[in-house]
Amino acid sequence: MLTNDTPATNLAVKDLERAKKFYEGTLGWKLIDQQADQVAIFEAGRSKIVVYVSEFAGSNKATAMTFSLGDRLESEVDALVEKGVTFEHYDMSGMTREGEIHSGWGMKSAWFKDPDGNIISLMDV
């Protein structure tokens, strides 16, 4: 069935050009395809991310995508801060925060939003 297939992540945006600038320029994703002014497909690692225009962009209040970075978490967070990315800070039971990174439950995490409010998580696991 779908056991050996790699799924793509879908991210809804309101402004495709603004999203492309963020994903390519800030996050360094590679644009591999574009379909008119409605869909852009990026590659990050071995994953594909389908960014598409939707009237529902920004309505998801939960994490949309997670990157497992291992011991690179701190350096990646620092690099994104240098590029102007603002990280989210959450009050969660069992977690503490030092700078941009939350610790607890046996892991470290940091979250930021893209220009349309999609929440992206970075973790050390």
How many domains, in total, are found in the chain?
A: 1
For residue 3, being part of any structural domain is answered with no
pLDDT tens figures, 11-44: 999 999 999 999 999 999 999 999 999 999 999 9
pLDDT tens figures, 39-91: 999 999 999 999 999 999 999 999 999 999 999 999 999 999 999 999 999 99
CATH (domain of 118): 3.10.180.10
Query: Length of the chain in residues, anyone?
Result: 125
For residue 1, being part of any structural domain is answered with no
pTM for the model stands at: 0.93
The Cα–Cα gap between 102 and 64 comes to 18
> By the 8 A CB rule, do 107 and 124 touch?
yes
> Do the bridges between strand 107-113 and strand 101-104 make them parallel or antiparallel, or are there none, so unpaired?
antiparallel
